[in-house]
Structure 1
Amino acid sequence: MSLAGQPSNGGSRILVLAGGLVGAAGVALSAAAAHRGGAFTGTAASFLLMHAPAFVAIGLADGNRSLRIAGLVLLVGLLMFSGDLIARDFLGSRLFPMSAPVGGTLLIAGWLAIAVSALLRLRS
């Protein structure tokens, strides 16, 4: 059951869980960036914090399947993009070649897919 008492699916719960974890990681990384420094860590923290509410909203919304898929694309992109930035500051190397550009592209695609999901919902 969802928070609203309606049946929910795993995709929605995963996105709400992701929103909470991404938000917590964003706060922790903001503190790390403030105390330890690291421009990449600060940027990753900002991206995590700005996307956390979107995951919670998508997870709680009575959205269609395309909205949930868009949210998952957004999540994968965020993890790749932010993960690469964090790896640069903490490990001194990239997560893997092209991880930030691919992650950034997935972020853009995820946001566009969210917009398209609204149009698909209007038709149904």
Structure 2
Amino acid sequence: MRTGERNATIRLAGFAGALFAAAAVALSAYAAHAVLEPQARERLITATLFAFGHGVAIAALARHGAHWFGGLALIAMLLGTLLFAGSLVGAVFAHASTSLAPIGGMLVIAGWLMLAVYALRR
């Protein structure tokens, strides 16, 4: 990976992680104050916990995007968080299917496992 690509991965991870965390705070406020059905509230709370936790982790780990394997792990976590939390939020606001949530969850797990391998190889 070239220097420009590494820097872009680091910036993208930092930006996306912070954006996930900010969206999670806004959605958790909505879940706390809006009149929602119990299942919708539960889905929003799950999505916000997932997006906030992984958003903070992605932003904190962004510097590992300088290495191709660390960058790949962060991209898996980014896409996974987007699919998992996005699927749950989409179900609440657009009555969309949550069928992408398991794929997102698997991508996040894969990203964490890749980061574990990366940490051992450094």
Same fold (TM over 0.5): yes
Q: 1:53 aligns with which of 53, 56, 59?
A: 56
Aligned length: 113
Indicate if the aligned counterparts of 1:64 and 1:117 stay in contact, CA closer than 8 A: no
Indicate if the aligned counterparts of 1:15 and 1:56 stay in contact, CA closer than 8 A: yes
Are 2:94 and 1:91 aligned?
A: yes
Runs of 4+ in 1 over 2 A off after TM superposition: 60-64
Q: 1:27 aligns with which of 17, 22, 25?
A: 25
Higher relative contact order (Cα pairs below 8 Å, separated by 6+ residues): 2
2:48 and 2:59 map into 1 onto residues whose CA distance is 17
1:25 and 1:77 map into 2 onto residues whose CA distance is 16
Q: Identity of paired residues, percent?
A: 39
Which residue of structure 2 lines up, in the alignment, with residue 3 of structure 1? Answer: none
Which residue of structure 2 lines up, in the alignment, with residue 41 of structure 1? Answer: 44
Which residue of structure 2 lines up, in the alignment, with residue 82 of structure 1? Answer: 85
SS of 2:97's equivalent in the other structure is coil
1:63 and 1:14 map into 2 onto residues whose CA distance is 11
| TM-score calculated relative to the size of structure 2 | 0.84
How much has 1:60 moved relative to structure 2? 3.2
Structure that is richer in helix per residue: 2
Q: Which runs of 5+ in 1 are unaligned?
A: 1-6
2:65 and 2:79 map into 1 onto residues whose CA distance is 21
Q: Deviations over 1:54-97 (max 9, x none)?
A: 111221358522112101100100000001100111112216xx
| TM-score calculated relative to the size of structure 1 | 0.83
RMSD: 1.8
Q: Which runs of 5+ in 2 are unaligned?
A: none
